[in-house]
Amino acid sequence: MAAPLRLTCLSLLPGLLAAQSPASVRQAVSSITAADVIRRIGILADDSMLGRATPSPQLDKVAAYIAGEFQRFGLKPGGDNGSYQQRYPLTSVAIVPESSYVRLTGDVRAEWKLGRDASYYRGQARAGESSAEMVVVSGTPTDRPVDPTKLNGKVLLYLGFGGGTLQQVIGKAQPAAILFATTLPEEEWQERTARQSRPAIQLAAPEAASPPIFFIRLDRVLAALSGTGITVDTSAGTRNGSLRIRPVPGVLVHFALRQLVSTGLSAPNVIGILEGSDPRLKREYVFFTGHMDHLGTPGSGEGCAARGTDSICNGADDDASGTTAVIEAAEAFVRLSPRSKRSLVFMTVSGEERGLWGSSYYANHPTVPLANVVADLNTDMVGRNWKDTIAVIGKEHSDLGATLNRVGAAHPELHMQPIDDIWPQEGFYFRSDHYNFARKGVPILFFFNGTHPDYHQVSDEVAKIDAEKEARIIQLVFYLGLEIANAAKRPQWNPDSFRRIVQGQN
As measured in angstroms, the least distance from the Cβ of 451 to Zn ion is 9
Closer residue to Zn ion (CB): 318 or 454: 318
Cβ–Cβ < 8 Å for 444, 394 = yes
Q: Which is nearest to 152 in space by CA: 135, 168, 127?
A: 135
Q: Which is nearest to 213 in space by CA: 305, 114, 343?
A: 114
How far apart (Å, rounded) are the C-alpha atoms in residues 148 and 160?
18
As measured in angstroms, the least distance from the Cβ of 139 to Zn ion is 27
Closer residue to Zn ion (CB): 143 or 318: 318
**DSSP helix, strand, coil percent of the chain (3-state; round to 5):** 35, 25, 40
CA-based Rg of the chain, rounded to a whole angstrom? 24
Cβ–Cβ < 8 Å for 349, 362 = yes
**Could you say which residues in the range 175-234 bind Zn ion, by CB under 5 A?**
none
Cβ–Cβ < 8 Å for 215, 190 = no
| Beta strand pairing call for 259-274 and 373-379 | unpaired
Cβ–Cβ < 8 Å for 294, 53 = yes
As measured in angstroms, the least distance from the Cβ of 100 to Zn ion is 29
Per-residue x/- marks for Zn ion, 335-354, CB under 5 A?
A: ------------------x-
> Helix or strand or coil: residue 96?
coil
Closer residue to Zn ion (CB): 219 or 423: 423
As measured in angstroms, the least distance from the Cβ of 267 to Zn ion is 16
As measured in angstroms, the least distance from the Cβ of 446 to Zn ion is 13
As measured in angstroms, the least distance from the Cβ of 286 to Zn ion is 24
Give the rounded distance of the alpha carbon of 179 from its chain centre. 24
Question: If binding means CB under 5 A, how many residues of this protein chain bind Zn ion?
Answer: 2
Cβ–Cβ < 8 Å for 480, 407 = yes
Cβ–Cβ < 8 Å for 314, 403 = no
Closer residue to Zn ion (CB): 331 or 353: 353
Stretch that binds Zn ion, among 66-74, 240-248, 312-320, 429-437 (CB under 5 A): 312-320
Stretch that binds Zn ion, among 219-227, 255-263, 313-321, 432-440 (CB under 5 A): 313-321
Q: Which is nearest to 148 in space by CA: 270, 236, 245?
A: 245
Stretch that binds Zn ion, among 41-49, 108-116, 242-250, 311-319 (CB under 5 A): 311-319
Closer residue to Zn ion (CB): 55 or 366: 55
Residue 318 as a binder of Zn ion (CB under 5 A): the answer is yes
Residues contacting 67, CB < 8 A, separation 6+: 83, 84, 85, 270, 272
As measured in angstroms, the least distance from the Cβ of 456 to Zn ion is 6
| Beta strand pairing call for 244-256 and 101-106 | antiparallel
Closer residue to Zn ion (CB): 69 or 454: 454
As measured in angstroms, the least distance from the Cβ of 426 to Zn ion is 13
Closer residue to Zn ion (CB): 362 or 428: 428
**Could you say which residues in the range 127-166 bind Zn ion, by CB under 5 A?**
none
Closer residue to Zn ion (CB): 160 or 322: 322
How far apart (Å, rounded) are the C-alpha atoms in residues 66 and 69?
5
Closer residue to Zn ion (CB): 350 or 403: 350
Quickly list H helices, 48-203: 57-73, 166-170, 186-195
Residue number of the CB atom closest to Zn ion? 318
As measured in angstroms, the least distance from the Cβ of 320 to Zn ion is 11
Stretch that binds Zn ion, among 317-325, 336-344, 371-379, 469-477 (CB under 5 A): 317-325
Residue 454 as a binder of Zn ion (CB under 5 A): the answer is no
Residue 302 as a binder of Zn ion (CB under 5 A): the answer is no
Residue type, 445: L
Residue numbers at the binding site for Zn ion (CB under 5 A): 318, 353
